[in-house]
A and B are shown apart, each in its own frame.
Chain A
Amino acid sequence: MAELILTKRMLERPHDAHTLEGYEASGGYLALRQVLADMTPEQVHAEVKTSGLRGRGGAGFPAGVKWGFVPADSFPRYLVINGDEGEPGTFKDRMLMERDPHQLVEGVIISCFALQAEHAFIYCRGEMDLAYRHLCDAVAAAEAAGYLGRGILGSDFDCRITVHRAAGAYICGEETALLESLEGLRGWPRMRPPFPAVAGLYAKPTVVNNVETISNVPHIAARGGAWYASMGTEKSTGTRLFCLSGHVNRPGNYEIELGTTFRELFDRWGKGIRDGNELKAFVPGGASAPWFDASSVDLPLDMDVVQQHGSMLGSGAVMVMDHTTDIVRAAWRLVKFFAHESCGQCTPCREGTDWLEEIMERLLDGRGRPSDIGLLIDVSDNISPGLTWPPAQTTICPLGPSATAPIASTIRLFPGDYERLVAGNEDLEPAESTGPAGPERTVAVTIGTKPDREAVAHG
């Protein structure tokens, strides 16, 4: 049952997979023809539900369930594709948009049919110039060929797609910030409820799905949800693109059936750690995911199992660090990222991420105080009380709480790396501590799990 779904065409026809000719010559738009000829919107929706397809943007929420939140009889409704890929370590959606844009476009049209939406938007990251141009070309070619527009392929289904070029703001990958941005505003996440499915773009029912998620839809529509669900594990069905980067010999995007282990990803696909080095740490699912050390390498690439072990597969970004890595510096880089990308709405995030970055810089400059390690935990705890997993949230969106993941997990896994930086720096402690650090106020680092926490969908 070994097979590729999303990357098959681009591997077989690397030179023209992105064109209409190449797409049609390899079975493209047959799924759409089949859907419009033989299926009702409800049947397509049912197949997507059966497939178990889960969101590939980070939250892993089942796509079919998300679609079901759209209230009946409320029109117009919109489908918005999140192509604002910017999570450090993630580079799969760019590949899908550049190399197989029609696969996404066909997925959008079929999904619109299922949702009874007549207008979709593809929100493409602004810096991805080529992806944007390929998407625009694909939409224009699909229009010219009658796959988009009025009365598609002789049916009474109308659909159009607007490709929207973003302009550089990581937070716009958060689905409500994306909608604000699409309305011409600053990318400030919205309070929920209402959820976008009820009141999204222009306060109309809106479904926001990731590029990879919707690229699977033509295959599910053509071959059935049961076929898709037969791959992967029970609750992580199908294949998934893993973005492997860092200290491996062969980094890249790998389409792998869910359930494979990290060890196999690193060794078989990544061809091992560079220079025969030892694995020190890895980030299992993007910048927001707590880190693992080498002892977790036999965990499977299964969303629920990784979640139970205190982290997540998130956006599929796996970043590998060998034993030569300066762990504190690496963690600082992600904290700096979150501080830079904080939208500034919520105080815990705006102030907290900035302070975390400054304290980390002080440690790396050799000016760290012994109390700084406790201070880092304390500030993190103020952003995300209890430092649990999934993180508790004091903010409108999860960006702030995510910034605590690299710090809390590396302090827990590699306390020596931090302690070394402050050893002998007792004289740098302020004479009279005015800060909250101090043994009695230091929060224990426990990264537990809260399985009863309600799963919240954010694209």
Chain B
Amino acid sequence: MAAEVFTGELLEQARAKVAEYPEPRSALLPLLHMLQEQAGYVTTGGMREVAALVGVTPAEVYGTATFYTMFKLEPIGRHLVSVCTSLSCQILGADELYARLRDHYGVADRETTADGEFTFEEVECAAACGGAPCLQIDYRFFEFVKADEVVDLVEDVRRRGLDAVHAERGSVLAPLPPLEAAEIAAGITPEHKWTPPAEDDA
């Protein structure tokens, strides 16, 4: 069966990736990422090609791929909206936020809008708890998202594209420790340390 995904430049990139590792099968996840970027999801045919490139069976590739939540086994929308509902986001309103999205678009978790534009998924901690509630669109962060604004945010991406919206409304880099200038100038380490009480005082 002729290769359909890994041809030309992508094939070269894949072979270079395999060569980075002492054992080829370590490139399995990186190659599945390449496949998904190219084909939109991890296709059966693509997984066969990955298997040949790293020297394992297609069943082993499938077995690995199905373990990881980022790999999608079916086509998804043009944009993937991942809403964190883990503890820090939950106690700051993430459930309501996600319900607004599902209600507005009439979709359930892990479903795609009829126009193929957005797929929504609830995810475990996205590592942006300091900006809770947070979500990712195509793995770019948006923090302190308000339930009243979340539909507008998603629609904004449809209108203006992700790059423009993310630059304006998203978190481009992880937020810095939110210290005031005076605190930084003063050296933020608290001067008094905890010391265990002396035996006599106990």
Contact = CB atoms under 8 A, between A and B. Distances in A.
Interface residues of B, number: 61
B88 A165 contact: no
How would you classify the secondary structure of chain A's contact residues: helix, strand, loop or mixed? Answer: mixed
Given A99-B173, A186-B64, A186-B67, A119 B22 contact: yes
Nearest to B32: A167
Given A91-B130, A244-B130, A257-B189, A330 B90 contact: yes
A190 interface: no
A354 to B, nearest CB: 16
Contacts of A85: 127
Interface stretch (B23-31, B100-108, B112-120): B23-31
Nearest to B90: A333
B140 A129 contact: yes
A98 B140 CA distance: 13
A255 B29 contact: no
16 contacts: A7-B176, A88-B86, A88-B124, A94-B174, A95-B176, A98-B173, A99-B174, A125-B127, A127-B123, A127-B127, A170-B124, A183-B26, A202-B22, A246-B132, A251-B132, A257-B193
A86 B173 contact: no
Nearest to A160: B20
Contacts of B69: 167-169
Given A91-B174, A99-B176, A251-B130, A167 B68 contact: yes
Contacts of A256: 188-190
Interface of B: 20-23, 25-30, 32-33, 54, 56, 63-64, 67-71, 82, 85-88, 90-92, 123-132, 136, 138-140, 173-179, 184, 186-191, 193-196
B86 A337 contact: yes
A412 B24 CA distance: 50
A183 B13 CA distance: 19
Interface stretch (A215-223, A317-325, A424-432, A451-459): A317-325
Interface of A: 1-4, 7, 10-11, 14, 18, 76, 85-91, 93-95, 98-99, 119, 125-131, 162, 164-170, 181-187, 202, 231-233, 239, 243-247, 250-257, 259-261, 264, 268-269, 283, 287, 300-302, 305, 317, 319, 321, 325, 329-330, 333-334, 337, 340-341, 343
Contacts of B188: 2, 4, 254-256, 269
